[in-house]
Structure 1
Amino acid sequence: MRFNPKARLDRSRVRDAGSGGGGGLGGGLGGGGMRIPIPGGGRGGIGGVILLVVLFLVAQCAGVDLRLGGGGGGGLGAQAYSPARLSDEQQGSDRYAGCTTGEDANNSQDCARVAIENSLTDYWESELGGKFRPEQAMVTFSGSVDTACGAASSAVGPFYCPSDESIYLDTTFFDDVLEGQLGGPDGSFVEFYVLAHEYGHHISNVLGYMGQVRSQQTGPQSDAVRLELQADCYAGLWAHHATTTKDASGEVLILDLTQDDINEAIEAAKAVGDDYIQKRSGGRVNEEAWTHGSSEQRKKWFMVGYQQGSLDACDTFAADRV
């Protein structure tokens, strides 16, 4: 992927919380703290973390009823919202201070992260029109961070918190866990796929799909898996349109996206499939425990978005089978 050197970057929604914490937007915590270590291996290790993460994020943040047989509407309800424009003080560290142009994005992964956030925001605003609202913030951190969904450690991996509508990630995840523990691919587009996936959760939130996850059911056709596959599809949809996205002055942000980039995304999707993680962590493949979908499901739905380029094609909740 190459960024347009003439493009100007908007850092207003990107911040770095530094190490050992830092508040998410919105003040106090909306639930208990959460610090789950990712084991180096062992039966069910990483897969168990993923299950806990998805149940925590959906139940605690979105207010969705995940009890077995639980009734009621669930869903997000009305949430107070004001567009996030982070002040200099809120920006935390100066990690992104030098990110002003597309040329900076070509030379720095940090600045590329800002450019990808800008591209995702521009695409989804164009796609959704009046329904759209940007994520409150994309927050990088080291060690741990406080969010409206609770405290999270680096071990949780990248995640989206619906309560403060923000994306959080410790960027060491890609080398230490995705590549090191799970044997995933190495490449800058791996992170961009993950960011697009997490932004996809925000879009599912905005469009109300997150409220359709109403049970604690797991398995390849469960609501939880459909939500994750929708985020993969939305990531592919953004990738399809990425080279059309623009900065505030109308300059194209991304000059090209190659087949190698898409291959990196597909390999990353494979590495975070439930079946792959179960095998990698030394356990047997247990479909009924799946919360994110198999490697094949995740690759399939990323490619549905990328090849069809249609928002309607990503309605995983309407599909008979995913």
Structure 2
Amino acid sequence: MRFNPRARLDTGRMRDTGGRGGSRGGGGGAVRIPVPTGAKAGGGAVGLLVILLLVVLTQCVGGSRGGLPLPDDRLDLSRVSGADSNRYANCRTGADANTDRDCARVAVENSLTDYWSEQLPASVEFRPEGVMQTFTGSVSTGCGQATSQVGPFYCPVDEGIYLDTTFFREVLERQLGGPGGDFVEYYVLAHEYGHHVQNLLGTMGRVRTQQGPTSDAVRLELQADCYAGMWTRSATTTEDARGEPLIVDLTQADIDQAIAAAKAVGDDRIQDRTTGRVNPAEWTHGSAEQRQRWFAVGFQEGSLEACDTFSAAQL
């Protein structure tokens, strides 16, 4: 992927609370493998799912406007702690994004925000995510305290996306045998932004069953993969505030990285690699085949209707 050197970057929603993470090879220790089993509800993929579903089931259901009913329509960021490290202060243009992975992250966030601002139905109010925050070790969020062990995640209470950037090197590549490459992270960010879209649409309130190959939890995750495919399809059409294209080139190699990453984080793939067995009854995010296929659906069809996993007879 190449960014337009003339594009202006908006860092207003970017935040970092410590460490340079994996962007320049410094800071942060190894992250535990996210094992998707019911045995360890405090870590990995299930730890994230428990946080997410707890919020979904206690706060999202019955929301009057789709998403979370927040007082006065203002986000409560009081539980997001830590001083900003100014990690993104020097990210000003697409030229910066072409030479600095931190700035590339800003450009992708800007692209996701521009894309989704045009995709929601007229009846749904679009608002960008509250913050996209990088951290090292642990972070305080509206959903509670979280550590690097949960991997990148979205918190619907403060509408923030959180990630320890060491996840991609330490867990996805080294422990899960997933692919390297910049677009791997962009796929993950697009997936998490997909959860924000689900929050705005009220889809999170449809989650009732939490485990199993056709569970609502799996449908939620596969839909977020499909939304990531939608953005990827149109990424080169997104613009900055002045109408300048943000992304000028997206290659087949980028798309291949996203598909390979989706395969690496399939429940069956992780179960087999970490425990030597595959148990579909414990799936929370979908199989490798499902995750690849629904990303492809979003990429090929490019519509919210095509990504309706909750109505799909076959996942």
TM superposition score normalised by structure 1: 0.85
Alignment of 1:52 with 2:43, yes or no, is no
Residue 270 of structure 1 aligns to which amino acid in structure 2?
K
Residue 104 of structure 2 aligns to which amino acid in structure 1?
A
d(CA) in 2 for partners of 1:117, 1:76: 20
d(CA) in 1 for partners of 2:83, 2:4: 25
SS in structure 2 at match of 1:146: strand
Other-structure match for 1:99:
91
Other-structure match for 2:113:
121
193, 196, 206: which one aligns with 1:199: 193
Alignment of 1:82 with 2:82, yes or no, is no
d(CA) in 1 for partners of 2:237, 2:224: 20
Query: Is the CA contact (8 Å cut-off) linking 1:84 and 1:137 kept in structure 2?
Result: no
Other-structure match for 2:28:
none
Other-structure match for 1:9:
9
Deviation, 1:131, is 2.5
Query: Is the CA contact (8 Å cut-off) linking 1:193 and 1:235 kept in structure 2?
Result: yes
Other-structure match for 2:313:
320
- CA spacing shift, 1:245–1:56, aligned 2, 3 Å: same
Other-structure match for 2:172:
178
Q: How does 1:297-312 map to 2 (within 5 A)?
A: 297-312=290-305
Deviation, 1:64, is 4.4
Deviation, 1:44, is 8.0
Residue 184 of structure 2 aligns to which amino acid in structure 1?
V
Deviation, 1:46, is 8.3
Query: Is the CA contact (8 Å cut-off) linking 1:42 and 1:283 kept in structure 2?
Result: no
Residue 16 of structure 1 aligns to which amino acid in structure 2?
D
Deviation, 1:308, is 0.8
Deviation, 1:83, is 6.8
Query: Is the CA contact (8 Å cut-off) linking 2:45 and 2:151 kept in structure 1?
Result: no
Query: Is the CA contact (8 Å cut-off) linking 2:8 and 2:93 kept in structure 1?
Result: yes
Structure 1: give runs of 5+ residues left out of the alignment: 20-36, 67-71
Q: How does 1:266-277 map to 2 (within 5 A)?
A: 266-277=259-270
- CA spacing shift, 1:43–1:113, aligned 2, 3 Å: closer
Deviation, 1:76, is 5.4
Query: Is the CA contact (8 Å cut-off) linking 2:33 and 2:176 kept in structure 1?
Result: no
Query: Is the CA contact (8 Å cut-off) linking 2:34 and 2:150 kept in structure 1?
Result: no
Deviation, 1:40, is 9.2
SS in structure 2 at match of 1:78: coil
Other-structure match for 1:24:
none
- The percent identity for this pair of structures is 61
Residue 260 of structure 2 aligns to which amino acid in structure 1?
E
Q: How many residues align?
A: 295
Structure 2: give runs of 5+ residues left out of the alignment: 20-30
Other-structure match for 2:137:
143
- CA spacing shift, 1:65–1:290, aligned 2, 3 Å: farther
SS in structure 2 at match of 1:168: strand
Alignment of 1:163 with 2:154, yes or no, is no
d(CA) in 2 for partners of 1:157, 1:141: 11
Other-structure match for 2:24:
none
SS in structure 1 at match of 2:145: strand
Alignment of 1:239 with 2:235, yes or no, is no
Deviation, 1:111, is 0.1
Residue 92 of structure 1 aligns to which amino acid in structure 2?
D
Alignment of 1:253 with 2:263, yes or no, is no
CA offset digits 1:234-258 (Å, max 9, x no partner) = 0000001100000000000000110
d(CA) in 1 for partners of 2:40, 2:263: 15
Query: Is the CA contact (8 Å cut-off) linking 1:119 and 1:253 kept in structure 2?
Result: yes
Query: Is the CA contact (8 Å cut-off) linking 1:46 and 1:278 kept in structure 2?
Result: no
Other-structure match for 1:262:
255
275, 282, 286: which one aligns with 1:282: 275
RMSD over aligned Cα atoms? 2.7
d(CA) in 2 for partners of 1:248, 1:210: 30
- CA spacing shift, 1:273–1:309, aligned 2, 3 Å: same
Query: Is the CA contact (8 Å cut-off) linking 2:47 and 2:150 kept in structure 1?
Result: no
Query: Is the CA contact (8 Å cut-off) linking 1:13 and 1:84 kept in structure 2?
Result: no
Query: Is the CA contact (8 Å cut-off) linking 1:228 and 1:292 kept in structure 2?
Result: yes
Residue 18 of structure 1 aligns to which amino acid in structure 2?
G
